[in-house]
Amino acid sequence: MRILSHLFENNKRWAASIHEKDPTFFERLSQQQNPEYLWIGCSDSRVPANQIVGLLPGDIFVHRNVANLVVYDDLNCQSVLQYGVEALKVRHIIVCGHYGCGGVQAALSPTSLGRLDNWLRYIKDVHSLHRGYLNALQDPVEIHNALCELNIIEQARNVCQNKIVEDAWAREQAIDVHAWIYSIQDGILRDLGFTVTSRSEVQPLYTQAIESFIKKPPHR
């Protein structure tokens, strides 16, 4: 008997259903990929990029890690970013996090998780950066939600301030960077109001996003 045979059976059914709707789908895709979107999301099993936005294989180039972090010396993320921007020429880069993020929750907890602590450090840095606002909040759920949102805005800013994206904008390659949050409770995506289309917009739009966030948090 084949190991995990139910997954192979699922796969056969899935491939057949796609083929039934569009007999040349796989043949076309096998020639090349030409995705319009680069998705940087959390590894959480409840936040699958393609399904959430109803897109097919070939539509989204995807990078996922714990808590959707964009870290300058992360070879993996930087390679995806470079290939997405320079080779695939994606039109949009979406940083999408989610409420109920285990990585964000762990960063708020004093308990050590071993090696993962090094990765969570980046979320703790976001917390430090916005501690004035976060420390004024009382409700732990509110703090969690706010840190999830702020983390996404910070990671989207990291995309904007990345050399790969800066160089693309400098040669007038059109790229829009977006900051989105997904609710695992109702399956709904929300735009966090930080959408950047050029280098000169980064700082003013970041300041505006953070100021309006603090005045009127999007989740409340």
Distance between CA atoms of residues 177 and 95, nearest Å? 8
Active site residue 121: no
Distance between CA atoms of residues 60 and 125, nearest Å? 29
Q: Which is nearer to Co ion, 95 or 202 (CB)?
A: 95
Q: If you search the block for the tokens 């789908």, which residue do you land on?
A: 25
* Listed ranges 69-77, 98-106, 112-120, 165-173: which one lies at the site for Co ion (CB under 5 A): 98-106
Distance between CA atoms of residues 89 and 3, nearest Å? 39
Binder among 35, 37, 38, 42 for Co ion (CB under 5 A): 42
Active site residue 6: no
Q: Kindly state the number of chain residues that form the binding site for Co ion, as judged by CB under 5 A.
A: 3
Given 44, 63, 77, 144, the catalytic residue: 44
* Listed ranges 42-50, 53-61, 110-118, 208-216: which one lies at the site for Co ion (CB under 5 A): 42-50
Q: How far is CA 17 from CA 6, 14, 116, 210, in A?
A: 16, 5, 40, 45
How many other C-beta atoms can be found within 10 angstroms of the C-beta atom of residue 207? Answer: 10
How many other C-beta atoms can be found within 10 angstroms of the C-beta atom of residue 30? Answer: 9
Active site residue 74: no
Question: Burial, 84: exposed, middle or buried (Cβ in 10 Å; 0-12, 13-18, 19+)?
Answer: buried
Binder among 101, 156, 175, 179 for Co ion (CB under 5 A): 101
Question: Binding of Co ion at residue 44 (CB under 5 A)?
Answer: yes
Active site residue 148: no
Distance of closest approach, residue 203 Cβ to Co ion, in angstroms: 28
Q: Which x/- pattern, by CB under 5 A, does the window 134-173 give for Co ion?
A: ----------------------------------------
Rule CB under 5 A: which residues touch Co ion?
Answer: 42, 44, 101
